[in-house]
Amino acid sequence: MDTANYRVVKWLSGEPLGFTIAGGYGNGASLNQIGTSYAIYLDNQSNIYVASGNDAGNEANQLQNPYGIYVNGNSTLYVVDASNHRVQKCEKGAKIGTTVADQSGIPGKWAFQFNTSTAIAFDQYGSMYAMDAENQRIQRWKSESAYGETVVSGTMPDPRGMGFDPNGNLLVTDISKHNRIA
C-alpha cells in the first residue's frame, strides 16, 4: 500500500517494478481513487480490502485512523479504529459498523479499553486479538465477551502488526524489533 500516493501496488515475484491495482488517481471516492489508507487485507480468494474512512469521525459509519483490518470467511469485516480506540464490525453488505470492542471510545488501560489500537487478528477458535499500542499489550476478546484479557504485556516498545502462522503461533511486528510469541 502506497499511502502517500493513494494507491495499492502489486509486485510479482522476481519483478523489480510493481504496478498499480487500486487507486492511483489522487485522494477521493471515485472508482479509480482511494483515500488516506493505513491498512490492507488480502483474503483467501485474493480480494483486497483497504481501510480508509468516510470523513474521519466517531459515528458508526466513520473511522478515524483505521490501522488494522481483518475479514473472516463469511466476509465480515473488522476494523481497528485507532483514534476512536475501538474495533468496528461490519457484516457483508452493511453500510454501518457495530462496535465490538471498547464501547467507551475513551483511551484507557481497563480490560474493556484500548489506547490507540493498531492491529487485529483472530485465532482458530474465533477469539479476537487486538494490539493496544500505547498500553504495550495485546488483548484477547473471546467470542461475545464485553472484556478483553491481556495475553502479552510490556515486551513491545512500539508494536504495529500481528497475525497467526499456520501452527497457531502469534507473530508480532514492532518498529524497533520483531517478536514471535507462541
Q: CA angle, corner 163, sides to 157 and 166, nearest 5?
A: 135
Angle at the Cα of 52 from the Cα atoms of 8 and 107, rounded to 5 degrees: 130
Tell me the pLDDT of the chain averaged across its residues.
84
Q: Which residue has the cell 515475484?
A: 13
pLDDT of residue 103 exceeding 80? no
Are 78 and 91 found together in one domain? yes
Pair 28, 94 in one domain = no
Shared-domain flag, residues 68 and 11? no
Please tell me whether residues 139 and 53 are part of one structural domain: yes
65 and 117 both lie in a single domain: yes
Judge whether 110 and 139 are in contact, CB under 8 Å: no
Residue span of the structural domain in which 152 resides: 38-181
The model's pTM? 0.83
Report the pLDDT averaged over residues 35-46.
82
- Examine the domain organization and report whether 23 and 70 are in the same domain: no
Cell numbers 465490538: residue: 100
Span 55-82, pLDDT tens digits = 777 888 888 888 889 999 888 999 998 8
Model pLDDT, residue 105: 76
Q: Say which residue, 155 or 162, is predicted with more confidence.
A: 162
The pLDDT assigned to 4 comes to 80
Q: Are residues 79 and 30 in the same domain?
A: no
- How many structural domains comprise the chain? 2
Query: What pLDDT score was predicted for residue 128?
Result: 92
Report which of residues 172 and 146 the model is more confident about: 172
Q: What is the DSSP string of the chain?
A: -BGGGTEEEE--TT-S--EEEEE-S-SSSSTT---S--EEEE-TT--EEEE--SSSSSSTT--SSEEEEEE-TT--EEEEEGGGTEEEEE-TT-SS-EEEE-SS-S---STT--SSEEEEEE-TTS-EEEEEGGGTEEEEE-TT-SS-EEEEESS-SSEEEEEE-TTS-EEEEESS-EEEE-
Q: What is the largest CA-CA distance in the chain?
A: 47
- Confidence class of residue 182 from pLDDT cuts 50, 70 and 90? very low
Residues 152, 141 share a domain? yes
Averaged pLDDT, 129-144: 88
Read off the CATH number of the domain in which 53 is found.
2.120.10.30
Instruction: Kindly state the average pLDDT of the residues 89-97.
Output: 89
Do residues 111 and 148 share a domain?
Answer: yes
Say whether pLDDT at 178 is over 70. Answer: no
Are 55 and 107 contained in the same domain? yes
